[in-house]
Amino acid sequence: MKILILGAGGMLGQKLVKQILKSDFNSINPSEIYLFDLYFPLQRDIGVNIIKGDLGDPKQIKKLATKHFDIIFHLAAIVSGEAEENFEKGWQINLFSMWHLLEALKKEHLNSSAKYVPRIIFTSSIAVFGAPYPDKIHDDFLCAPKTSYGAQKASAELLLSDFSRKGFVNGISLRLPTICVRPGSANKAASSFFSNIIREPLNGKTAYLPVDTEVRHWHASPRSAANFLIHATTIDSSSLNDRRSLNLPGVSCTVEEQIEALRTIAGQKIVDHIISKPDPLIKGMVSGWPRNFLPEKALKLGFKAETNFEQIISTYIADDLE
């Protein structure tokens, strides 16, 4: 399998590469791996091809498409906070670069005698949903995003689904839970505090909490997210019946419960690093975010995540804490 990862320089991209390179993931069986991104963190040579480039440039996308990758993981995005600040840039990268990618792949499909149909695994987000919600969001619930990021992801899902229905590509959109605990430094995602309040204290640093502790949200670890992406390549997409956007399993818990799990694992002294510092902008965005899901379809398809927040913290300690 010839594999391309768009947005491979990001946190999830790096996790995904590591998982793919582990020998026990025979489902993908990679022959060549290409990583594409604007920037890559400094790293040792791991035997993969690195392409520095801009997904906002249709010419570069066309060139990529000619390489006929079997699997394309599309992780590249302008994250929620930045898409809200920079309206134009968000729509250009999060929606229109998807259009250019799909158009380029469609052209390869139509021009290839072997009827080239790449599998595309697209990281969508639970930000496609907007309040009010039922207690648990079921698989038939409407997309009514309350952020530009969510609207862009929902539109890109529709594009991917229609190009797939026509047989030009074979796409699946994964509505990832909020990834927690993110290693490294905070990004511009409005959701990054959910990770900060665990990661920073565990590293002996102060973390600011911009929302109330009653806020409930939906989480999965970076390891689970990488596993979702890999598992998605194995699904028989004809069974999806043109509903190619999946709500994934995760852990529903409040910030209070996150902190309680941290206290159980690391003690009160570590918890004392969390300082309340309300932020009206983030509070407003988060108030429209999902709290809990009933992801029946994804569970039936074999997607698996953690079942409580202590497991999520333990995964961070095992995989990322130095």
Amino acid identity of 239?
Answer: S
Q: Give the helix/strand (H/E) hosting 100.
A: helix 97-111
Q: CA 179 to CA 228: how far, in whole Å? A: 12
CB of 116 to a second copy, least distance (A): 17
Q: CA 129 to CA 154: how far, in whole Å? A: 9
**How many degrees, rounded to 5, is the angle at CA 212 between CA 199 and CA 187?**
40
Q: Total binding residues for a second copy by CB under 8 A?
A: 29
Binding status of residue 294 toward a second copy by CB under 8 A: no
Q: CA 85 to CA 322: how far, in whole Å? A: 33
Altogether, the residues listed in the chain come to a count of 322
CB of 192 to a second copy, least distance (A): 22
| 8 Å CB contact between 256 and 215 | no
Pick out residues in 222-251 that bind a second copy (CB under 8 A).
Answer: 241-243
CB of 174 to a second copy, least distance (A): 16
User: Which of 39, 116, 149, 316 is the catalytic position?
Assistant: 149
Complex with a second copy: residue 13 or 145, whichever CB lies closer: 145
Read off the tokens for 98.
Answer: 């998807």
Helix/strand/coil for 7: coil
Complex with a second copy: residue 31 or 241, whichever CB lies closer: 241
Q: CA 29 to CA 145: how far, in whole Å? A: 37
Residues 13-52: x where in contact with a second copy by CB under 8 A, - otherwise, as a string:
----------------------------------------
DSSP string, 155-218: HHHHHHHHHHHTTS-EEEEEEEPEE-S--SS--S-GGGHHHHHHHHHHTT--EEE-S-TT-EEE
Complex with a second copy: residue 152 or 191, whichever CB lies closer: 152
Complex with a second copy: residue 164 or 191, whichever CB lies closer: 164
Residues 73-102: x where in contact with a second copy by CB under 8 A, - otherwise, as a string:
--------------x---x-------x---
Complex with a second copy: residue 12 or 65, whichever CB lies closer: 65
**Any bridge partners for residue 50, and if so which?**
35
Strand pairing report for 216-220 and 251-254: antiparallel
Quick one: which of 279, 217, 221 has its CA closest to 81?
A: 279
Complex with a second copy: residue 104 or 143, whichever CB lies closer: 143
Pick out residues in 107-166 that bind a second copy (CB under 8 A).
Answer: 130, 132, 134, 139-146, 148, 151-152, 154-155, 158-159, 161-162, 165-166
CB of 79 to a second copy, least distance (A): 16
Q: Confirm whether 133 is a catalytic residue.
A: no
- Positions marked active-site: 149
Q: Which residues bind a second copy (CB under 8 A)?
A: 87, 91, 99, 130, 132, 134, 139-146, 148, 151-152, 154-155, 158-159, 161-162, 165-166, 241-243, 288
